[in-house]
Amino acid sequence: AWLSKTMRRGFLPGTSLDRLTDEELADWQPEERIAYLAELAEIIDFLHHQGEYGLMHLDIKPANLLLDPDKRPALIDFDTLQCVQPSVGDRTVDEPADQSGITCTPGYAAPEILLGHPVPASDLYALGLCLLWLLSDYDPDTSDPLTLPVAVASLPPALATCAARCLMTDPERRFPD
């Protein structure tokens, strides 16, 4: 009953990742963090398959990711949500009037978002940065971008491969979903 009442008020239990204390982060085991990221990837995939062509969040970052009491993710803040535009060949049908006004967090934004041309893979770029944030000392908001390859290389091989693919500058080379 309490949960249904709080959900009606628009409240989700949990803490955004950026507000976790050092102690809370230290208690969160790497295996639990990886499980969290895998479930978050499923949430993003679900979002990308909603509606006729899919939806894009376009501002995935620790402040917009909740850790609930069961250590499960929730994605919040859909102010930047956009519909995926259908494409035919190499052109987009019914291009939106202006995508240059996308409000996002530059440190977590894929290059194509900054150029005003978001695609679903833009969310996977941000997911890759969140993976680094959770599993290494790399913080896109404060770290030197030149240290990104070092942060990726510091991960176990399978995670480094996953992060590197998410962080490809060409969205066509990122995971399709």
Angle (CA) 171 166 148, round 5°: 110
- From 18, 22, 27, 59, active-site residue: 59
Residue 3 CB-half CA count within 13 A? 4
| Nearest to 167, CA basis, from 136, 138, 126 | 126
Which residues on neighbouring strands pair with residue 174, listed in sequence order? Answer: none
| Annotated catalytic residue 59 | yes
Cα separation, 50 vs 73, whole angstroms:
19
Beta-bridge partners for 15: 67
Query: Which residues are part of the catalytic machinery?
Result: 59
